[in-house]
Structure 1
Amino acid sequence: MTASEMPHGGKIAILGAGAIGQLFYHQLSAHGLAPVLMTREASAGSQALEFTDLNGETIKRQAQLIDKSALASCELLIVCVKAYQVEEALQPLLGALSADTHILLLHNGLGPHLAIAPHLAGRGLSLGTTSQGALKLGRWQIKQTGAGLTQLGHGLGPRLTESLRQALLEAIDDSEWCEPILPMLWQKLAINIAINPLTAINGCRNGALIEDQYRPTILALIQEVLAVANAEGIALEQDRLTERVYRVIQLTASNYSSMHQDIHHGRQTEIEAITGYLLSRAAVRGIDTPANEAIYRQLKSLEQGG
């Protein structure tokens, strides 16, 4: 059976072949959806991929790589690039998409959806977040490092078709459709704000943050998120959010956060879409956020080699 003969075959494209992009490629492929991949090189061809799941089983698949010209038949474009790459990666492709192509953003943080919204020309947009973990072992080899909840929901414009929505939920491990999605994204934002910069600044695994010395900072960061979220019309509960932050710390204790890895490897981080987004909304609302401002300055200094 060719890709075009499978349900939704060739109609789902994944933009970005990093660890998460490849993880979703394998999960969708395992359910017969036959997605295609588009990389930063945007060249067509075939590529062997290798995936090691949580049970240690290694699976090899042959992926179809596409260029811009193949996007015209795409029904769903899943964008799995870093938050700071979304606008630059997506804008040049919009003209190649059909008027009915739906776009799903999956990245850490918030903000890119606001930047691309004016350019969608009536296309539908969904937003999502995942707590699944994956590690690149090589350019085309990944290992799943953790299970986790994936939450998807409607952003704006025409809604994702019911058939595609059900296909995603059946294929993606532990996934759910959330209406509204923004409270879920703010919860994930709070978790990222409380964990990622601190692990990067202190050069530690997530589990180290369980120590008492970090608790006052974590609580202060969460308190500021609650204040800004409330001003934005997003109701979050302090006790529940704090409990969830510490649960994620425990569940991912042996992991290095993506921000820690970015700093370690001298790469740009997603701080602008995480703490930076919070600070921008706080400024609009006239809310003081001293704890997050201090963390932001420390992280930016590290990012710039300071």
Structure 2
Amino acid sequence: MIHIHIIGAGSIGLLFAHRLSMCGHSIHIITRTAEQAEALGQHGIVNQSVQKVTASPLEYTQFNQADAVLIAVKQYHLETILPVITQIPASTPLIFLQNGMSHLEHLSRLPHEHIFVSTVEHGAKKVNAYTVEHNGVGWWRIASYKGQQEYIKSILACHHHDFPISYEENYQRLLRVKLIKNLMINPLTALFQVKNGVLAENLYLKEMMAALYEELAIVFPDEITYCSFNDILDLCKKTSENESSMLSDIKAGRKTEIESLTGYAIKVAIQKKVKPVILPFLERGILAIQIERGSN
């Protein structure tokens, strides 16, 4: 057993806290509000079974007892908590669970010896402050940004058929392949208000996906070979009843991670002297919806 702190008590933070607790680890969740911390302390985390955890708001949390820290906040919240992250002992392994790749520029400034990035393919929905639904099983893939794999071996040992974990050797490729998948699915489902499966069924949406795929193949020619168009269609079919995280954010009136996804891809395109057309269109479309709905 090790002591794991998880910063972020949204759907993924709660799901991972529940699963890692089931694995036998001691879990402490860092919340945004005192009310959620109190609810978690009182009820535990509910997901079919109940797992007891401890919790505290960020400003009242000490990290000296943590053997590892998972950062499960949205990409756009990461910058605001960086001052806290820098205060975590430099020898404590950090694992980041953000979508996109914009957070890499922050990681380069951290003093920590062992930093890991990861991609999450699970479907999860936060029901209330302490209840989470696990709507789809997927891989949690972890790669080292710097540091050694042995420092998270206790976490990797939590691999289970309904919570599969893999260790990847190339963090850049891992994140870019996931970025391609996110860009292919999230913005279109959010713009057209459809579940994932509709993208693979609707002729016109499929044609739009094909055009986007061609643009991404120019921007990421190496990584696209690990992510065929048929692979993405199969992913849409396997998660056909799932709402993408971006669609869920739009429906709930929350800010989306669109700029974290498109921003990095557009930046890479400009560096390669490629002028993307579809990526900026998707970004502006989602931002337009956010403004109309007053998302924050």
Residue 191 of structure 1: CA displacement? 1.0
Partner of 1:170: helix, strand, or coil? Answer: coil
Specify which of 101, 104, 115 is matched with residue 106 of structure 2. Answer: 115
Aligned to 1:88: 80
Distance 1:42 1:86, change over 3 A: farther
Q: Distance in 1 between matches of 2:101 and 2:55?
A: 28
Aligned to 2:225: 237
Partner of 1:201: helix, strand, or coil? Answer: helix
Specify which of 179, 185, 188 is matched with residue 169 of structure 2. Answer: 179
Asked if the contact 2:100–2:261 (Cα under 8 Å) also holds between the matched residues in 1, the reply is: yes
Q: Distance in 1 between matches of 2:157 and 2:269?
A: 34
Asked if the contact 2:143–2:169 (Cα under 8 Å) also holds between the matched residues in 1, the reply is: yes
Where in structure 2 are the equivalents of 1:37-76 lying within 5 Å?
37-41=29-33, 46-52=41-47, 58-66=48-56, 68-76=60-68
Specify the code of the residue in structure 2 equivalent to 1:51: V
1:194 lines up with 2:189 in the alignment: no
Specify which of 230, 238, 247 is matched with residue 234 of structure 2. Answer: 247
Query: What's the TM-score, normalizing by structure 1?
Result: 0.87
Partner of 1:152: helix, strand, or coil? Answer: strand
Asked if the contact 1:152–1:177 (Cα under 8 Å) also holds between the matched residues in 2, the reply is: yes
Partner of 2:52: helix, strand, or coil? Answer: strand
Query: What's the TM-score, normalizing by structure 2?
Result: 0.89
Count of aligned residue pairs for this structure pair: 285
**What are the ranges of 5 or more consecutive residues in structure 1 without an aligned counterpart?**
1-6, 53-57
1:103 lines up with 2:94 in the alignment: yes
Aligned to 2:193: 203
Asked if the contact 1:282–1:288 (Cα under 8 Å) also holds between the matched residues in 2, the reply is: yes
Aligned to 1:148: 138
Specify which of 271, 277, 280 is matched with residue 290 of structure 1. Answer: 277
RMSD: 2.0
Aligned to 1:139: 129
Aligned to 2:212: 221
Aligned to 2:158: 170
Q: Distance in 1 between matches of 2:24 and 2:261?
A: 34
Residue 61 of structure 1: CA displacement? 2.2
Q: Distance in 2 between matches of 1:209 and 1:109?
A: 21
Residue 163 of structure 1: CA displacement? 5.4
Residue 302 of structure 1: CA displacement? 0.9
Q: Deviations over 1:49-100 (max 9, x none)?
A: 3433xxxxx21122111455420222211001111111212333322x1120
Q: Distance in 1 between matches of 2:15 and 2:289?
A: 29
Residue 249 of structure 1: CA displacement? 0.5
Residue 109 of structure 1: CA displacement? 1.3
Asked if the contact 2:196–2:239 (Cα under 8 Å) also holds between the matched residues in 1, the reply is: yes
Deviates more, 1:203-212 or 1:280-289: 280-289
Q: Distance in 2 between matches of 1:305 and 1:132?
A: 30
Aligned to 1:267: 254
Residue 207 of structure 1: CA displacement? 1.1
Residue 261 of structure 1: CA displacement? 1.2
Q: Distance in 2 between matches of 1:108 and 1:163?
A: 23
Distance 1:194 1:15, change over 3 A: same
1:159 lines up with 2:148 in the alignment: yes
Percent identical residues: 26
Specify the code of the residue in structure 1 equivalent to 2:32: R
1:127 lines up with 2:117 in the alignment: yes
Deviates more, 1:221-230 or 1:36-45: 36-45
Residue 292 of structure 1: CA displacement? 1.2
Asked if the contact 1:74–1:98 (Cα under 8 Å) also holds between the matched residues in 2, the reply is: no
